Amino acid sequence: MAEAELRRKVLADLDAHRINLMNDVLFKFIFGKEERKAITIDFLNAVLEESLQHIIRDIRFVQTENIPQVEDGKLTRFDVACELDSGESIDVEVQVINYQNMERRTLYYWSQMYLNGIVSGEHYEELRPAITINILSFRLLPQENPHAMYSIYNIETGERLNRDMELHFLEIPKFINKPVQNMTKMERWMAYFSNKLNQQEREELAMSDTAINSAYDAASKFFLSPQERMNYVNRQMAIMDYNSAMEASEEKGEERFAQLIHQLSEQGRTEDIARVSVDKAYRQKLYREFDL
């Protein structure tokens, strides 16, 4: 299929809600590749320009898998990780499923980045600011503004301790659609992820923003690859299996069943997720395996 034809099909599938731009496999393909880092830089500037108070001109992608510092420690696997030309470390996470642990998960991921900023023998002055950006497909925080930034502040005075911690949350369901010409740069990116636009609005969005237009083109290239398409489908199926299993757990009223599903999802054991919702003996076996 020619790229132009595939792009039209991708836009049509977006219009019919058959493609999820927040699928983490697709997200990493678009935002985590050296050859498309201009897209990532544009997105980061949209989110961080106000808080950083400077323009990001370049980034360097870094390893996304963080080996635990102690034996039997928890492996951290970032979606997209990079360093800015000004030295800050960045982790961008796409979260489609609400595991009810997002606040602590964010702190844990941030702490791993921050610790990586110093090696044995260096001084604390060598630590670099670390920034996490969470793109969420669910509501999490009490405010209605779809973008929130957290740091460390004095509760009484509001004074910020330092600029080493920034935790950004983009809650996509809170984005309210408006005419493209009235959107800020960040709102255009939230419109891109939200898939609330019709095809005409989506084309207008692409025409008004070079980086977003490139992101749509990259999505078209992604679906040209049979392997990438299969990875995408597998991930979507895992999400659906998790949601189905969670519905089953609510019906059963088993809190530990929900914990089991979360453990399996974290390990990518999608076949087991589907099986435990219908196979009681296998479910009991995995309860023992995970000591639940």
**Which pLDDT belongs to residue 262?**
83
**Which pLDDT belongs to residue 70?**
43
DSSP 216: H
Contact 166, 153 (CB under 8 A): no
Contact 64, 33 (CB under 8 A): no
Distance CA(10)–CA(18), nearest Å, equals 9
**Which pLDDT belongs to residue 165?**
97
| Contacts of range 2-9, beta carbons closer than 8 Å, 24 or more positions apart | 3/217, 3/220, 3/221, 3/224, 6/220, 6/223, 6/224, 7/216, 7/217, 7/220
Distance CA(132)–CA(90), nearest Å, equals 6
**Which pLDDT belongs to residue 73?**
47
**Which pLDDT belongs to residue 287?**
84
**Which pLDDT belongs to residue 253?**
53
**Which pLDDT belongs to residue 114?**
93
Which is it for strands 59-61 and 65-66: parallel, antiparallel or unpaired? unpaired
Q: In a structure prediction context, what are the per-residue pLDDT tens digits for the chain, which is 292 residues long?
A: 566 777 777 777 777 667 889 999 999 999 999 999 999 999 999 999 999 999 999 999 998 876 554 444 455 688 999 999 999 999 999 999 888 889 999 999 999 999 887 766 678 888 999 999 999 999 999 999 999 999 999 999 999 999 999 999 999 999 999 999 999 999 999 999 998 888 889 999 999 999 999 999 999 999 989 999 899 988 888 888 777 777 666 655 567 788 888 888 888 888 888 888 777 788 888 888 888 8
**Which pLDDT belongs to residue 69?**
47
**Which pLDDT belongs to residue 71?**
45
**Which pLDDT belongs to residue 164?**
96
Which is it for strands 130-136 and 89-95: parallel, antiparallel or unpaired? parallel
**Which pLDDT belongs to residue 118?**
74
**Which pLDDT belongs to residue 121?**
65
- How far is CA 145 from each of CA 100, 162, 292, rounded to the nearest angstrom? 20, 24, 38
Quote the pTM value: 0.82
Nearest to 81 by CA among 55, 119, 54, 117: 117
